[in-house]
Amino acid sequence: MKIFNSLKRQKEEFVPITPNEVKMYVCGPTVYNFFHIGNARTFIVFDTIRRYFEYRGYNVKFVQNFTDIDDKMIKRANEEGTTVKDIAEKYINEYYKDADDLNIKRATVNPRATEFIDEIIKFIKDLVDKGFAYVVDGDVYFETKKFKEYGKLSHQNLEDLEAGARIDVDERKKDPMDFALWKAQKPGEPAWESPWGLGRPGWHIECSTMASTLLGETIDIHGGGVDLTFPHHENEIAQSEARNGKPFARYWMHCAFLNVNNQKMSKSLNNFFTAREILEKYDSEVVRLFMLSGHYRNPINFSIDLLDQAKAALDRLYNTIGNLEHIIETAEERELNDEEKAFLNKLYGYKDRYIEVMDDDFNTADGISVIFDMVRDINSNINEKSSKEVAKDSLSLIRELGGPLGILQRDVRGNLENEIQRLIEERQAARKAKNYALADKIRDDLKAMGIILEDTPSGVRWKKI
Ligand code: AMP
Ligand code: ZN
C-alpha cells in the first residue's frame, strides 16, 4: 500500500513497525461545542482509512483524543456558568452521538488530556532535564532553537518562521517561535499541581504524551486536518523527538478542508452546518458518499446541491441492492452456468481494481467509481432468470466494497416492507377518519412504488406488481 507522507511530500510504500499492525493517532476535537461537517470530513476520512486497513487484514490500534482543557473550553464554561469538566462531559457525549450516527467506528481508545496530567508533567520534566525546555514564572516553554530539525514537517526553516512571526509581546520567551508546554494558572482557571506550580498543559504536549503512552515512542501514522500541520504537528514532532531521540511518526497524513465558497468551513467564520443539522435531513451514508467522492488530499466544496446529488447516486446503488435482494428471494437455486461464471470472474476484476486504487493512497474517489461501474454491469447482466448464486455473490461484493467506505450495508427489502406497512396503516387510519382523499392518495402512491393492495376479510394484503 502507498501513502502520501506529508513529511516527505511524496507517496511511500507503507511498511508497519510491527507486521500486520497499524498504530495510528488522529487529533480529535476540542469538546466545547457540537462538531461541524468540516470536522466530520476529517473524522470520516480517518475512519475510512482505518476501515480500509482492517479490510486489508491489519489489526489497527486507533487512538483519537478529546482536548478537554484549553482556552475555548474555559471560555465556554464561563459563558454557561458551569465547570470545564461538565462542558467536556456534555460535548463528549454529543460527539459520540453524532459520530455513531455518521457510522464512524469507535476508536480503540479516546483518551482525554485531563486523564494524562501525570504523564504530561513527566514528559515536560524530561524536556527540561534534557535542556530542551525552560521555566519562566510558572510557565514552561519549548526552546525551538534547540531542536535542529524544527520546521521539517511544514517545510519551513526557523529563521524564516522567526522573520515572519509577529513581534512577540511575550518578552519572557527566548524566541518568538518557542511555545508553551505548561501554562501557569490564571485566576479562575482549573489547575493541577506540578513542579512549576499550579497550572495546566499546553495543547501540543497532550497529543505527544498520549500518543507515546498509548502507542509507543514511534508510531506508524499520525493524522489530522491540514490546518494542524503547523504549528500543532510541527510542535508535536519537536517535543517527541527531542525527548525520545527517535522518529515520532513514520507517516504523516493530512486531510484537506471541507470548504464553503472556497473558504474553510469553521466556527469562527460562522459558515458552518453542524453534523447534527445535516443528519436531520440526510442519511449518514449520503454524507459519507459525498465526503468520500473526492480524494482526501483535495479540498471539497460543500453545497446542499452536491448532497442531493450524492443522495440520488446512493439511491441508484440501493435500487440495484433491492433488485438483487428480490432475485435472491425468488430465483431458483441452481448451478452457475458458464455465462454466469464468466460474469462473476469479471466482477472479481472490479474488486481487484478497487483494491488497486484504494491501495494507492486511499483513493476513495476512484474506489467509488469502480463500484458504480460494477453496479452498472450487474444491472445489465442480472435479472429474474439469473441463478440465486450469481445474485448472492454480486450483492456480497457490493457490500464488501462499500464496507471500508461505511456505505451500502443496509437491507432494502426489510426497509421497504416496513415502509409499505407504515403506509397501509396510515391509509387505514385515513379511512377510519373518513378522509377518503388521503386514503386514495396513499393507494396511488403505493401503486407508483409497484405495490397493489387487496382488501380482504382478514385485513389488507399487498403484493408487488
Ligand atoms: P478542532 O475541534 O477545531 O480542533 O478540529 C477537529 C479536527 O477537524 C481537526 O483535525 C481539524 O483539522 C479538522 N477540521 C476543522 N475544520 C475543518 C474543515 N473545514 N475541513 C476539514 N477538517 C477540518
Ligand atoms: Zn493533536
Predicted pLDDT at 418: 82
Q: How far from chain centre, in Å, is Cα 69?
A: 22
Query: Which amino acid residue places its CA nearest to atom 11 of ligand 1?
Result: 225
pLDDT along the chain (465 residues), means of 10: 98 98 98 97 98 98 97 93 96 98 98 98 98 97 97 92 73 91 95 98 97 98 97 98 98 97 92 96 97 98 96 96 92 91 96 98 98 98 93 97 97 83 91 93 88 84 81
Which CATH entry fits the domain spanning 2-255: 3.40.50.2300, 3.40.50.150, 3.40.50.620, 3.30.70.890? 3.40.50.620
> Which of 430, 30, 458, 449 lies closest to 228, judged by CA?
30
Please tell me the distance between residue 94's alpha carbon and the centre of ligand 1 in angstroms: 16
| Dist CA 221 CA 115 (whole Å) | 23
Output the ligand 1 site: residues, CB below 6 A: 27, 29-30, 38-39, 41-42, 224-225, 227-228, 255, 257-258, 264-266
Cβ partners under 8 Å of residue 39, min gap 6: 29, 225, 275
Please tell me the distance between residue 209's alpha carbon and the centre of ligand 1 in angstroms: 21
CB 271 within 8 A of CB 239: no
Please tell me the distance between residue 233's alpha carbon and the centre of ligand 2 in angstroms: 7
Residue ranges with strand state E in 243-337 = 249-255, 258-260, 263-264, 300-301
pLDDT digits (tens, 9 = 90+) for 106-160: 999 999 999 999 999 999 999 999 999 999 999 999 999 999 999 999 999 888 8
| Dist CA 75 CA 87 (whole Å) | 10
Please tell me the distance between residue 27's alpha carbon and the centre of ligand 2 in angstroms: 4
- Is the overall model pTM greater than 0.75, yes or no? yes
Q: What are the residue ranges spanned by the domains of the chain? A: 2-255, 304-405, 420-464
Write the class of the CATH domain 304-405. mainly alpha
Predicted pLDDT at 414: 78
Atom of ligand 1 nearest to the CA of 257: 20
> Which of 225, 292, 178, 160 lies closest to 27, judged by CA?
225
